[in-house]
Each structure stands twice: as C-alpha cells, then as structure tokens.
Structure 1
Amino acid sequence: MAEHDVIDLLMAQHGRIRDLFDEVEQAPPEKLEAAFGRLTRLLSVHETAEEEIVHPYARRKLGDGQGVVADRLREESVAKRLLHALHRAGVDDPRFWDRLAELRAAVTAHARGEERYEFTRLRACTTPVERRAMAAAVQAAEALAPHHPLPGVESATANLLVGTPAALMERAREAIRRALGRT
C-alpha cells in the first residue's frame, strides 16, 4: 500500500480486510483455504503493527489515550483468539462458517472503534509529518510481523519479544517448504 499517512494506510487496510472476508465467504471449496490464508495474514500483520506503533503513540498523544487503547486491545484480544481458533481448526471444521461470522463481527466492531475513537482523534492531534513517519513505521513493523495470530501478545514489547522471532521462524519454514516444492 502506498499510503503515506498512517490513518489512510490503516483505513485502506480495514477496507481490504472487509474485502477479504467477502472473498472467503464467496470462495469455492478448492480456493477457500488460500482465501482464508490471505485474510489471516493481513489481520495478523495489521494488528501487530497497530500494537507496536499506533497504540503506544495514541496512549501518549490522546488525553485519555490509556482508556482508548485499553478498549482497542480488549477488542483485538477477542478477535485474535477467534482467528487463532479458526486457523488451528482449519476450513474443513464443521464450525468454520459460524466462527468466521463471529470473527467478522468482532473485527468489524473493532475497526469501527479504532476509526471512531482512535484514528479520528489521532488525525486531529498529529501533523502530516508525524503521520507519514508512523506510516513508514507501520509498514516496517508489518514486514517483520508474524503471518499467524498470536493470542495474548497484544503489547509492543510482547510483539517484539515473541512476534518477531515467531515471524522469522514462519518465514524460514515457508522458504524450506518452497525449496522442497511443498505449499
């Protein structure tokens, strides 16, 4: 994504996440796993970057930033746990569609909360230069983020200590699978 403003970048990702939910829901059976994989990947890297970059900044910048971020982290925790359960059970699980609907509702409510209570206020109290710097930081964090959910890892420190090594191991496993001709 080429957005240079962190709020525009994150809002565009929210739109992409909505599109990916639609893609999963409309995927034929033979393409369902790949579509769900794309959704899982974007949700995972998006939330990691918010937890590492955006939420800490909002805590400091917004007058009631602690409360605003605490609410968002509770929402993220619920969504991560749902995504993790879905990912572990797989698309063939009989509860997949019900759990996917539950995940979509949780993610939609969370995105709405971010847009209303965090992003709007961050845009009002930051400069374009700050938002461009944050966008670059978010993109860097996403490049190093795990592609799968890590429930219970919802802070910048935990993401750096647990998420980055997990992401490196994921990338290594993916490279080995590609080298061996497995997907």
Structure 2
Amino acid sequence: MAHGGNVIEELTADHREVDALFEKIEGLPTADGKRRELADRLTMELVRHSVAEEEYLYPAVRRYVDGGDDLADKELDDHAEVERMLKELESCRPVDDRFDTLLGRLRTSVTSHVEDEENRLFPLLADACPATALDELGERIRSAKKAAPPLPHPSAPDNPPANKILAPGASMVDHLRDLLTGRGRPG
C-alpha cells in the first residue's frame, strides 16, 4: 500500500509495512544477523508511527468522535505497552530465546492495536470528521513521522503539550546517536 492520502490511508499503509517487517524477521534463521537490523528498523517505524498518531490522530479522535477521550486513552495505553516491549527488545540479541519471545508478544500486541484502529477507530473518525480535515491530518502525520525520534522513550510524556515540547530534544539526541552508530541507515 502506498503512502499518501488522508490520515486513515497513511496510517493503514504504515500498518502493512509493519506487518511485512514482522514477516521478514520471523522468516529468517535465528543466527541471521539481518534479524537485528530488521528489528531496529521495525522499532524505528513503530516509534515514528506512534509519535505521529499521538501528536495528531488521537487529538482529532478526542475532538470529533463521541467518546473519543476514552478511545484515545486506550490507544495511548497500547502505545505505552508497545514502547516498553521495544525498549526491552532493543537490548536482546537475535540468538537469545528472549528475542523471539518478545518479538511474538510485540507482534500480538501490535496486531491487536492495528485491528482495533482499523475496525473501530478509523471508521468512527471517518464518519465524524470532515474529509478536508482527514486530508490535512494525513499531511501532518507524514511530517510528524519525518521529525519523530527513531527510538522508544517509554518514560517520555504521551500527552500534549509535554510530548510536543520534549519530543524535539529526544529526537535530536536519537539522531545524533544514530549518526554516530550508523543505526537506521538503509542496508
């Protein structure tokens, strides 16, 4: 699925990319060094996606959807759980048994979150939000993903305004670390 379009199309494209990354990791032998590289890429994609949703999608859900506060809070709780698992996965070597266990738990959690968004949250937002606002949110989501930190910050605030104030600093530190270590470069 190609990127572009409104917020729902953009985030759905992200979901398919994440599914494909899980498939690639799980399809490689345990000792294959590419598993670590793909797990790092998965982490970066999930973090960027989460930051963009937290910055733009969930505030829109709160604004337009009846019961949006509860829906957004549930999605933020899902993100916090995923970020904790990503941070733990970051410290695992692919040959460790814990790596596959965490990867399985992560996939289950992400799949459940994606199904909830695509089957419940997205249709509610599409019904309640003007098409022009959905298109504008798509643009904002794409911009936010470009500026988002590439690594999880489980203790960082999830809610505005603190998330918007602190995210650029965390992103700058992550980008510097990435430049120094080579993490996140296409393989």
TM-score (norm 1): 0.90
Separation (CA, whole Å) in 1 of partners of 2:89 and 2:49: 18
Alignment-mate amino acid for residue 46 of structure 1: H
Return the structure number with greater helix share.
Answer: 1
Q: For residue 161 of structure 2, give the secondary structure of its aligned residue in structure 1.
A: helix
Retained in 2: the 8 A contact 1:144–1:168?
A: no
Q: CA deviation at 1:115?
A: 1.5
Partner of 1:35: 38
2:89–2:99 Cα contact (<8 Å) kept: yes
Picking from 161, 165, 172, the partner of 1:161 is 165
Deviation track 1:111-137 (CA, whole Å, cap 9, x = no partner) reads 111112211111111222111110111
SS at match of 1:27: coil
Q: Which amino acid aligns with 1:121?
A: L
Contact 2:3–2:9 (CA<8 Å) still a contact in 1? no
Q: In structure 2, what is the Cα distance between the partners aligned to 1:56 and 1:174?
A: 30
Moved over 6 A (4+): none
Cα shift readout 1:118-162 (whole Å, capped 9, x = no counterpart): 111111112221111101111111111111111143224343233
Residue 146 of structure 1 aligns to a residue whose secondary structure is: coil
Aligned to 1:140: 143
The residue identity in structure 1 corresponding to 2:70 is G
What percent of counterpart residues are identical?
Answer: 27
Matched, 1:175 2:179: yes
Task: Structure 2: give runs of 5+ residues left out of the alignment.
Answer: none
Aligned equivalent of 1:11: 12
Q: Do the aligned residues in 2 keep the contact of 1:52 with 1:157 (CA within 8 Å)?
A: no
Give a deviation string over 1:9-28, Cα, whole Å, max 9, x none.
10111111111100111134
User: What amino acid maps onto 2:127 in structure 1?
Assistant: A
Partner amino acid, structure 2, of 1:80: E
Query: Cα distance 1:158–1:93, how it changes in 2: closer, same or farther (>3 A)?
Result: farther
The 5 A counterparts of 1:1-183 are 2-28=3-29, 29-153=32-156, 154-177=158-181
Q: What is the root-mean-square deviation in Å for CA atoms of aligned residues? A: 1.8
Letter in structure 2 aligned against 1:172: L
Which ranges in structure 1 are unaligned for 5 or more consecutive residues? none
Q: Deviation string for 1:60-114 (max 9, x for gaps)?
A: 1111001111111111111111111111234343310011100000011111111
Q: Distance in 2 between matches of 1:27 and 1:177?
A: 24
Per-residue CA deviation, residues 14-67 of structure 1 (Å, 9 max, x unaligned), is: 111111100111134121111111111100100010001000110111110011
Aligned CA distance change for structure 1 residues 31 and 76 (closer, same or farther; 3 Å) = same
Number of matched pairs: 179
TM-score under structure 2 normalisation?
Answer: 0.88
